[in-house]
Structure 1
Amino acid sequence: MSDLITAILLGIVEGITEFLPVSSTGHLILATELLGYAAEKWSVFNIAIQPGAILAIVLLYWRTFWNAFTGLFRRDPESVAFVRNLLIAFIPAVVLGLAFGDQIEMLLENAVVVAWALIVGGVAILVVEKFAKTSDAGGVANVSLRTSVGIGLVQCLAMIPGVSRSGATILGAMSMGVDRKTAAEFSFFLALPTLTGATVLQLFKHRAELTSDDFGLIGVGMLVSFVVAWIVVKAFLAVVTRYGFAPFAWYRIVAGVAALVWLGTR
């Protein structure tokens, strides 16, 4: 299979899974194993194409970001709170990412860790869905500072591949009483600094290994992930509002068990 086809397939996987609570990194690792790709070759690519999916969020919510940006100059309290909450939630990932970056990178080649994380995460979703008591938070800007810190700490669990950054932040927020819609949007918006930072760090660390061909493939992957993420995100909130997160939980459990069986019989 050509590298171009590989880049397109991984871009599709990234676009579908980045903002769903199923773990994009985990699925990219499993896709690499399933299709026989060299994990060490594509691990940087899998992180580098994330900005494509991020761009989909920026364009879908451009009014929200624009209002927050212009509101900062007016010292609008809601805009200040919006930016403050996202920055506060972002800080724990920066600290742990810089401190344990090498150890985290080693896990990116472990498909067994991914499979178990999918199963455990699926069970966690079912538990939170059943027992969490949530109320309308009124948007990201109205989430308390304490809750924002908590969401940021929970997001760090996603450094384990298979946990799911979006799943961790959404469920973490819900467990702290935030309603589904606000929790999902907090997760979407928090992806902007988190995934951008992770991409810049990985590209910088591996800059000597990357060739012009690699950057071309990354560009293709970004474009594909952008288009697919745009479609997926527009449907995601409607599905969650109607059915909750349980369908994603059962999917995770089934996918994790199937992956363990497959990995054990190779």
Structure 2
Amino acid sequence: MDYINAMVLGVIEGITEFLPISSTGHLLIAEHWAGERSDTFNIVIQAGAILAVTIIYWRRLASLVVGWRQPENRAYAGKLIVAFLITAILGLIAKKLGFALSENVTPIAWALIIGGFWIIAAEWIAAKQRDRVKISWTVAIVVGLAQIVAGIFPGTSRSAATIFAAMLAGTSNRAAATEFAFLVGIPTMFAASAYQLYGEIKQGGGHEDWTALGIAFVVSTFTAFIAVKWLLGYIQSHRFTVFAIYRIIFGAALLGMAALGWVS
């Protein structure tokens, strides 16, 4: 893989991993023109995006650790742990049972379109509720389950599934729902990346262009940092509707390209 392609894929991963528009669909299209990527490459650039979010939320994470004696911090951390454990346990079960769709264009396109309408509906329902920032145990459980759904159905978008699951389950405040979804995503995605990377190494993987991989990792981290920072500011005064419309248009475009045989 040449370095330009590595940079482009790093940018795409960084922008799309935490925005509710699905990184899978975008990387699938990029792969069509940039060439097939190894699983190790995918794992590493995803880790870069996760690192960016960890850096953004390091003060929040530190406050939960340092202030663990405070009941509200213990409760919040407990809910993060519950959501993570639900995802980890059910995710392993789903993997063992083979519950996952293939990463072909058609199911991803439909997941994008359905997810777009899901976002519009979630925003409409949340707007009718009073502003709630509290994360309940119900929200934690639902977010954990939403991560499983996103893992089984490529194109759903983990961030979209978790943010809007939280909003529908009772945390109607977009900023509060987004923060919890992203914080849960940190251990979840690091654990998933480590698990996948271990599997690749165990199977004899590792024949990589490490320079290109390093470039993609750095670019993904930097781009994700900017994208998430922008998103956190944007949702303070805007709904997620623009992302829903984009998903529907992008999903329809993918279906069109698949029908013409341009992608598969």
TM-fit CA distance, 1:231: 0.7
Cα distance in 2, alignment partners of residues 222 and 137 from structure 1: 36
The amino acid across from 2:246 in the alignment is Y
The 3 A distance-change label for structure 1 pair 79 and 191 is same
Cα distance in 1, alignment partners of residues 255 and 22 from structure 2: 16
- Residue deviations 1:111-169 (CA, integer Å, cap 9, x gap): 2211110001001111111122444444xxx4111221111112211111100000001
Counterpart position of 1:172:
165
Does residue 20 of the first structure (1) align with residue 19 of the second (2)? yes
The amino acid across from 2:144 in the alignment is G
Counterpart position of 2:217:
222
Does residue 37 of the first structure (1) align with residue 35 of the second (2)? yes
Cα distance in 1, alignment partners of residues 205 and 255 from structure 2: 32
Contact 1:114 1:162 in 2 (8 A): yes
Contact 2:101 2:154 in 1 (8 A): no
Counterpart position of 1:76:
70
Contact 2:116 2:245 in 1 (8 A): yes
Cα distance in 2, alignment partners of residues 149 and 114 from structure 1: 25
TM-fit CA distance, 1:77: 1.3
- Residue deviations 1:238-258 (CA, integer Å, cap 9, x gap): 222322010000000000000
Does residue 118 of the first structure (1) align with residue 112 of the second (2)? yes
Q: Please give the secondary structure, in 1, of the residue aligned with 2:237.
A: helix
Cα distance in 1, alignment partners of residues 22 and 99 from structure 2: 15
The 3 A distance-change label for structure 1 pair 46 and 169 is same
TM-fit CA distance, 1:71: 1.8
Contact 2:9 2:216 in 1 (8 A): yes
Question: Identity across aligned pairs (percent)?
Answer: 40
**Pairing partner for 1:92 from 86, 89, 95:** 86
TM-score (structure 1 length as normaliser): 0.89
Cα distance in 2, alignment partners of residues 193 and 221 from structure 1: 21
The amino acid across from 1:177 in the alignment is G
The 3 A distance-change label for structure 1 pair 10 and 101 is farther
Cα distance in 2, alignment partners of residues 99 and 28 from structure 1: 26
Cα distance in 1, alignment partners of residues 190 and 212 from structure 2: 18
Greater per-residue helix proportion:
1
Contact 2:5 2:34 in 1 (8 A): no
Cα distance in 2, alignment partners of residues 101 and 209 from structure 1: 20
Cα distance in 2, alignment partners of residues 56 and 157 from structure 1: 24
**Pairing partner for 1:184 from 178, 182, 189:** 178
Cα distance in 2, alignment partners of residues 29 and 44 from structure 1: 15
Contact 2:40 2:205 in 1 (8 A): no
Counterpart position of 1:155:
147
Runs (5+) with no aligned partner, structure 2: none
Counterpart position of 1:59:
55
Does residue 256 of the first structure (1) align with residue 251 of the second (2)? yes
The 3 A distance-change label for structure 1 pair 201 and 134 is farther
The 3 A distance-change label for structure 1 pair 151 and 118 is same
The amino acid across from 2:120 in the alignment is L
Counterpart position of 1:146:
138
Counterpart position of 1:127:
121
Q: Please give the secondary structure, in 2, of the residue aligned with 1:241.
A: coil
Cα distance in 1, alignment partners of residues 210 and 142 from structure 2: 36
Runs (5+) with no aligned partner, structure 1: none
Cα distance in 2, alignment partners of residues 105 and 76 from structure 1: 40
Aligned length: 256
The amino acid across from 2:197 in the alignment is L
- Residue deviations 1:74-104 (CA, integer Å, cap 9, x gap): x221221221111111122212321232636
